Amino acid sequence: MLIPKNSWLYAALSYSLWPLFYCVGLIGTYAAFQTQSPLLWFNVVYFSVVALIAIFERIMPYEQTWLKRDGETFNDIAHTLLTKGAVQIAAAIGASFPMLVAIVAQPVLSTSAHIWPSAWPLAIQVVLGLIIAEFGLYIAHRLAHEKLALWRFHALHHSVERLWVVNTGRFHVIDSLFKIALSQIPLYLLGAPLPVFLWISAVTAFTGLLTHCNVDVRTGPLDWVLSTPRLHRWHHSKELSEGNTNYGENLVLWDQILGTYFNPPRPSPVDIGISGKVAKSFLGQLAQPFSAKGVRQILGYAPKKSDEAGASSVAAKALAGDKAGDKD
């Protein structure tokens, strides 16, 4: 049941839901990190926030058409109850992946240099770490849009034609590893402690959920500081002048400084996607960026004559086989 847009309840929720979801996620994360199984309980919190967002996507969506099936196998399967649970588990694993990398790598790669301000309160250390990591995320994200060698992997994320909570983690593994490397390595070199890595990963996980949510939220002044659904919808626009903006994963600080912040005073777009096509199957999506033919498909280029000749040859053989079968 949809909440009437002209009601006081709708107005109140549109301004309060985004900070509420964020606070629930971070408070839950704090509680999870106090337990003996922090990653397990973090994922419980993560599932809970996913469920809350999914409910409000149905009762006060930003874009009504994004609730409909879009013909993609991934989303069709996700609409069923059983496999939607599987998709959410996969999303939670993806959200935890940077944490797992940090747990393994931090003791190995941390330096003996006492550069990191370990005596500062943890909250301030996390903010500092977030600003430093965000610069690496910004560079990785911007390069993924400006360099073909990286865009062929990142295009998978932009191939979606609707934004909703389930496709938050739709990233090629190469794309994810590149971002993790550029955001975490500076912190290793500075000697940041493990809790800083865990908190940055948690903030990134919940910000990702919220930037993709199809909920009609109003974020107002927060748009100047944090990556919000409104800013991220501009980033997914099919118009390159709009899409090649707002690269920040959590903060828009570096967008503001480096001139890529974009937030014009009009509704953010719902016509999103890429000019090319990505493979339909999961394994096909993983393999596609590694072949010249796959890259051409991603970019929306016409197939080469050699590809067309090959396809015609296959079709001719199939037709000949059908005719032979008719004779039999």
pTM of the entire predicted model: 0.80
The pLDDT score that the predictor gives to residue 310 is 43
What's 196-214 look like in SS3? HHHHHHHHHHHHHHHHHCC
Question: Which residues are CB-contacts of 290 (< 8 A; sequence separation ≥ 6)?
Answer: none
Decide: 32 and 25 in contact? Cβ < 8 Å.
no
How far is the first Cα of the chain from the last one, in angstroms, to the nearest whole number? 59
As a whole number of angstroms, the distance between CA 131 and CA 168 comes to 22
Distance (Å, whole) CA 124 – CA 142: 27
Query: How many CB atoms are located within 10 Å of the residue 66 CB?
Result: 17
Q: Is 98 helix (H, G, I), strand (E, B) or coil?
A: helix
In angstroms, the CA 244 to CA 234 distance is: 9
Q: How far apart are CA 170 and CA 156, in angstroms?
A: 7
Are 135 and 254 in contact by the 8 Å Cβ rule? The answer is yes
φ, ψ for residue 71 (rounded to 5)?
90, -5
- The pLDDT value given to residue 322: 41
For position 64, what pLDDT does the model report?
85
DSSP one-letter string for 21-83? HHHHHHHHHHHHHTSS-HHHHHHHHHHHHHHHHHHHHHHS-S-GGGGS--S-HHHHHHTSHHH
Q: Where are the alpha helices (DSSP H) in the chain?
A: 8-33, 38-59, 73-78, 81-109, 122-146, 148-158, 173-190, 194-212, 229-235, 240-243, 253-258, 282-287, 292-299, 305-327
What is the structure's pLDDT at 320? Answer: 43
pLDDT per residue, tens digit, the chain (328 aa), is 678 888 999 999 999 999 999 999 999 999 998 998 887 888 889 889 988 998 999 999 998 888 876 554 343 333 222 223 343 344 444 445 555 555 665 565 555 556 889 899 999 999 999 999 999 999 999 999 999 999 999 999 999 898 988 888 788 888 888 888 898 888 888 888 888 888 888 898 899 889 999 999 999 999 999 999 999 999 999 999 999 999 999 999 999 999 999 999 999 999 999 989 999 888 888 899 999 999 999 998 877 655 544 433 433 343 344 433 444 3
Dihedral in degrees, nearest 10, Cα atoms 275, 280, 284, 288: -10
